[in-house]
Chains A and B, each alone.
Chain A
């Protein structure tokens, strides 16, 4: 009995602490996003007397000739195409990387692992993009995002390949399959779970990425949602209500993913970190 009470007390304290540390900032944003500018300037967490969520959302959306809508579209395109490119290049590479052994393969492994750690060289990448005409171009950003996420996802694929028996390969070889057939018809379908994990994790990280669009997609034509938020800091000055309304709007897609794919996200993070 005593232990039960003690446990209950500990648990209550834990929940209260978590609410204070992680819940308060979130509810601060939630309440202030619905206030008037003047009320939000008080920086208080107290609920507003009368809320104006709709007005705030619509003024955020209408800002700078509906920049946010364009930004959502751009971010969606960049995210989806990045995932497609990433899955394409890392599944093929992961497949061969796991199946073959040898000196060449160790070198490739080394280069991939190095990519997990080495900071990307910003200006030379800009120079490369400029040279091939992809600077300030969404396709350029897509390729950079794919290149930067490549090491992590190729490791996930390589790890997963280990669980696919080689007997399958041999059987299809006897059936007269080429390597390409084998990969397309047998291996890639079997790797669906890991593809899904990578797609989900990458979608959140690319959608939330601020740094790479800042480097490789400057200018107002090709804004992404995170860049709009960044630009709004100076546009809105002290209008915290609008900034927070913007934050709410652009956090919706990752939030939906989090609600539906919570387990996959977490297991993917762990697999990437622990397995390698």
Chain B
């Protein structure tokens, strides 16, 4: 019924979305490929070839972000998947305080990142902070969480997981609840233990929620900027800089071309990971 389709579902419906999405998302993305090759003052530009990329990839204060972002994304992602899954499995069992615990764990998500950064900045103070005071009480000398160049990035990872594990857990819970109960019953009849249930039913059948969590957490992590900016500003020195914080610093310094080159680098990394994800998503769609 082509007449019905074209009359009812006119492409005109796309116009408002197209204006906003093209102008404020797609166009800047395409422009970034061009402007990353220039010295750019926003009003004027000079073409410089691949200079910006050379600077971005060779300068230690810049390419440290590349490494850190990968570490950061991998670490936050792994922790969120593992902890989120275990929490979900635990909170899908028969508990009286299930609702309370779920809300408690989800709660940090409604706080703004910057608030969380400030709170933990205080908790992680090396000599007065609550965390190290508690550690000292049991005889452990706590580290300088944010001031030690080897610790800073990892400390922020922990805070990120604290804030974000609730989402991972919630997605896993939805996945687990969709598993038909009779699978478990069958296993029980065969004499399976709780561990068996987790290992042979819950884990494999949560695969699709696991994929979602992995992609969400990884892409979120690699684009991450706000938490590190509030907690360490990329320091000490440059040791906890992420690609996104470097992009911002270059913007602040007025190096618009280099900042944009950083964006393109981030784009490339995300694309390398996003292609398999796109395949996965379209495959799921066919299944539906």
Contact = CB atoms under 8 A, between A and B. Distances in A.
B118 A233 contact: yes
B110 A204 contact: yes
Interface string A113-152: 1111111111111111110100000000001101110100
A274 B14 contact: no
A49 interface: no
Contacts of A44: 130, 133
A251 B170 contact: no
B213 interface: yes
A100 interface: yes
A254 B125 CA distance: 28
Contacts of A108: 14
A18 B167 CA distance: 16
A273 B80 CA distance: 15
A173 interface: yes
A128 B23 contact: yes
A47 interface: no
Given A226-B114, A230-B114, A113 B278 contact: yes
Contacts of B222: 119
Contacts of A115: 21, 25-26
Contacts of B10: 96, 179
B90 A96 contact: no
B35 A208 contact: no
A11 B97 contact: yes
Nearest to A267: B174
A169 B108 CA distance: 43
A230 B254 CA distance: 21
Nearest to A127: B42
A128 B100 contact: no
B101 A18 contact: yes
Contact of A43 (B32, B118, B122): B122
A135 to B, nearest CB: 10
Given A211-B226, A274-B175, A262 B274 contact: no
Interface string A164-204: 00000110010001110011000000000000000000001
B63 interface: no
A192 to B, nearest CB: 18
Interface string A1-37: 0000001000100110011011111101100000000
B149 interface: no
Contacts of A96: 9-11, 13-14
Interface string B236-270: 00000000100110010000100110011011001
Interface size class of A (residues with CB under 8 A): 35 or more
Contacts of A156: none
B113 A210 contact: yes
B14 A92 contact: yes
A269 interface: yes
A147 B29 contact: no
A92 B21 contact: no
Interface in B99-124: 100-101, 103-108, 110-115, 118-120, 122-123
Contact of A240 (B40, B42, B115, B122): B122
B186 interface: no
A43 B128 contact: yes
Interface size class of B (residues with CB under 8 A): 35 or more
A178 B270 contact: no
B179 interface: no
B32 A25 contact: no
Contact of B171 (A18, A90, A117, A273): A273
A214 B264 CA distance: 20
Given A15-B101, A121-B29, A226 B112 contact: yes
Contacts of B26: 111, 115
Contacts of A230: 114, 230
Contacts of A41: 128
Contacts of B95: 7, 11, 14
B4 to A, nearest CB: 6
Given A15-B97, A270-B171, A270-B174, A147 B263 contact: no
Contacts of A255: 110
A18 B270 CA distance: 34
Contacts of B162: 21-22, 25
B189 interface: no
A117 B244 CA distance: 14
Given A96-B9, A251-B115, A274-B174, 11 more contacts: A21-B162, A96-B10, A121-B32, A121-B260, A123-B32, A130-B42, A147-B25, A148-B25, A229-B118, A244-B118, A254-B111
17 contacts: A14-B95, A43-B133, A44-B130, A92-B13, A93-B17, A96-B9, A96-B13, A118-B29, A123-B260, A124-B28, A124-B35, A169-B8, A173-B7, A177-B8, A240-B122, A270-B174, A276-B281
- Which 10 residue pairs spanning A and B have beta carbons closest together? A124-B28, A147-B24, A121-B32, A208-B112, A93-B17, A89-B17, A124-B31, A117-B274, A125-B28, A270-B174
